[in-house]
Amino acid sequence: MLKGDPSEKTKKRYQARVDAVNALGARTKALSDDELRAKTEEFRERLRRGESEDDLLVEAFAVVREAADRVLGLRPFDVQLIGGMILHEGQIAEMRTGEGKTLVSALPAYLNALSGKGVHVVTVNDYLARRDAEWIGQIHKFLGMTCGLIQAGMAEEERRVGYGSDVTYVTNSELGFDYLRDNLAQNTGELVQRDFNFCIIDEVDSILIDEARTPLIISGVADKPSERYIQAAKIADAFEKDYHYKVDEKQKSVLLSEEGYEAAEDLLQVTDLYDPRTQWALYIINAIKAKELQKRDVNYIVRGQEIIIVDEFSGRTMQGRRWSDGLHQAVEAKEGVTIQNETVTIASVTYQAFFKSYPKLGGMTGTAETEITEFSNIYELEVAVVPTNRPVSREDSTDVVFRSETGKWNAVRKEISRMHKKGRPVLVGTTSVERSEQIAELLDEDGIPYELLNAKPENVERESEIVAQSGRKGAVTIATNMAGRGTDILLGGNAEFMARLRVRESLMQRVVMPEDGEIAFEKKGNLAKSGGNKWAVKEGLYPCELSAETAKMLGEAVDTACSVWGDRSLEALDAEERLSFACEKGPSEDEAILALRKVFNAIEAEYKVYTSAEKKEVLGLGGLHVVGTERHESRRVDNQLRGRSGRQGDPGSTRYFLSLEDNLFRIFGGDRIQALMSAFRVEDMPIESGMLTNSLDEAQKKVERYFYDIRKQLFDYDAVLNSQREKVYFERRRALTASREQLQEQMLEYAELTIDDIVNANIDTSEPVSEWPLEGLVGKLRQYCYYFGEIDESDIRPIAEKGGVNALRNFLVKKGQDAYMTKCGEVEATEAGLMMEAERFFILSQTDNLWKQHLQAIKFVQQAVGLRGYAQKDPLIEYKLEGFNLYTEMMAQIRRNVIYSVYMFQPQRLEQKEEAELVGAGGDQKPNSRKK
């Protein structure tokens, strides 16, 4: 069956609305700034009167387009309007790299923020969130909306303001962790997020697919002796691969052999490695995993006394993230750094479950087509391919395949050198920090200058600076994974970005507050030691020296900024935001901003003379050349690297160099590739064969399917836990925000249900009433609540004989509820409002405690049900059943513990404090803490 071009289909579907937006262009252009801003209030009013967002779409998009033109000097193309419409409909827009995805988000974000419920724009890292808030946020501010930014390390109050804004820029991990923290809050004052409304995800495939395998976890500390990790690491080090243990790289697992078991038991002098009291097997297996599967400078880097995980998809470090189940400690032991305590999960959520909780979700990416099925099966999101603004004229050469690694690296070296001599800019993509440093060494030997962009901290800081220059003549850039790098590679260099860096370099050291360390250095009068100007960029970055006139103008503009804003008085973030605003075109009264803007434009004009000439030259040579050195686990990531070349219709070329020893083909290649390897004996002759290329593609598809199955399984299992999580968090939030009456109602319900539990547990209705053990029932009730002390068997036997179990139940429920009301009266007499505070405390502490235990239990169940497959049972169904039983037991336990704590609650005045303290379940200074 023939399929048409998907982008043409998209174009046809939205063309009428695009034409309507274009038709409003002249009318919108004629409005003054104030009239344009007044449109926002007009739209809000129309929404209040019952019009829908769809009714406003055409006008709102026209307004944003005009505002973007006035503030940023960027006028969204027609294809960007189409992208905005796709996002507004809650779909995924696939747009090629360099087609201006970032600007697209402003259109639907403005439209959906008009309702006042807030819009979250989610990016992959803090740098991009900040850049977008400072840059695109100017459009929203110009139109009278508030714009928030959430960054790692922000205080609670700042977060609350950020989330309270109309449009909030935030990273996926900050957003997820704030959601979990909100569900651990002890009072409403601690909440930072509002109810979710609409979310736009930039680089949606990176967040919803690559990150989906790692759940977000908030954990507390659990004590475990670290000696065992060190012993296990020594044993793993002494063991030999394929003799003591086998490694399955595909499943990322290790298996001890018979010899391995015996050797470990001898060395440790234990009889059973799997003894649940010592659990040595777990330590040994983690130590072997740390040795074989977690490679330094590939999966993690060592900084000081810390092991920092490197994200395999974006090549960035993930500060503060730790592997679970003792694996992180095993790696710490292997590297000989301080071993940190083990942790226990308090709250967790996967990105899959988290993002599905938004009523409307949209996303943008350069490469989603290969994952269409996953987006639709798991997230119920459709993918629409947006046509490019100009036709793509990039040339993708066929892969060059070598038998061995050495042949491949030599060819890569020759290719870089050949292109560099020609003067073409080259971007080399690698899959790990280690590989990128290997290539760097080869280039050092050849004397070719290069820039290195990988997860090492010293390189990350200069990231956008490096990328902005990757398009200059003869530039060589080695990068691990280009996903979500955010800065475009402009041929000839990015004049605007360099001009901004030049202003930043002079301005920041004068207006930003010094940090503690710097102050100490200055007192000693030793500035050289503290590194001089930390905002300075690498020498040779700028294309030319500034003219004397412009240099003088820069000095004066910085002086003006110092006199208006104060000398060294701004926070770094605030200064960045002001600089960002100065480098655009938004209207301003601030004389410092205007002075900086004037000099920025002058510098940009000077740089542009050089970059434009260089661009022509580079275009003539054939544009940016991309060299791939390894196929990634997913074709999508390979396409992202390719997409860096040939943006906006520029010429460009790409070529992948592969070897049959690459991890991907070694692990997933199968027999056919192995046979080919032995057939080719020549090391450095490339193998060109259609059959081989097909086998490689097949291997890559196999990997994609394999990881898709893992994610699908994770999703199926998580769906069980997720429905439980939603109910628990809903109940918890209900208690957190409840009024006195609502809490009272909840307590009466708890009292009734707990009496039901006690009656059902003690009375078998199939037996005659005369044989019911009513004495035992009364004893149980007295244990549960001392107000039942006055009831005797003789009081309830006649009721049971006359009306059966229902009459008995109704009588006891009435008693239980009366007891609760009596208790309320007593406590309120001590201090008004104390009962409500105590009830809320009991519900929250019991929910948190038991949910934490439930997470441990359900994790154990998930591991255990895997073996049921051998008994011809479906593990997922078994997991659902067991999970449900655990859940109902937990909810009943919460109810029973809470109502028991309420009955036993004895407020006491403490001598030193003239106020009532909570004395009840779940704390240190609470003597009456007894669980049923």
Query: What residue numbers does the annotated binding site for ATP cover?
Result: 95-102
386 secondary structure, DSSP code? P
Look up residue 203 and give its amino acid.
Answer: E
- For residue 216, how many other CB atoms are within 10 A of its CB? 20
Q: SS in 3 state form for 494-513?
A: CHHHHHHHHHHHHHHHHHEC
3-state secondary structure 852-869: HHHHHHHHHHHHHHHHHH
Burial class (CB in 10 A: 0-12, 13-18, 19+), 197: middle
Which residues does residue 385 pair with via DSSP β-bridges, in sequence order?
A: 94
CA distance 444 to 184: 52
Strand partners for 908: 917
Do residues 137 and 113 lie in contact, with contact meaning Cβ atoms separated by under 8 Å? no
Angstrom distances, CA of residue 714 to CA of 124, 215, 361, 530 = 22, 10, 21, 49
Q: Specify the DSSP class assigned to residue 388.
A: P
Q: Residue 332: what are its φ and ψ, rounded to 5°?
A: -60, -40
374 burial level (CB within 10 Å; 0-12, 13-18, 19+): buried
Question: Is 839 in contact with 921 (CB distance < 8 Å)?
Answer: no
Residues 719/354, Cβ–Cβ less than 8 Å: no
Residue given tokens 């009301």 in the structure block? 821
Q: How many CB atoms lie within 10 A of CB 675?
A: 10
List residues bridging with 199 in a β-sheet: 120, 361
Long-range contacts of 187-193 (CB under 8 A, 24+ apart): 187/736, 187/840, 188/736, 188/737, 190/156, 191/160, 191/736, 192/156, 192/159, 192/160, 192/163, 193/163
Q: Binding site: what residues are annotated?
A: 95-102
Alpha helices in 512-547 (DSSP H): 516-523
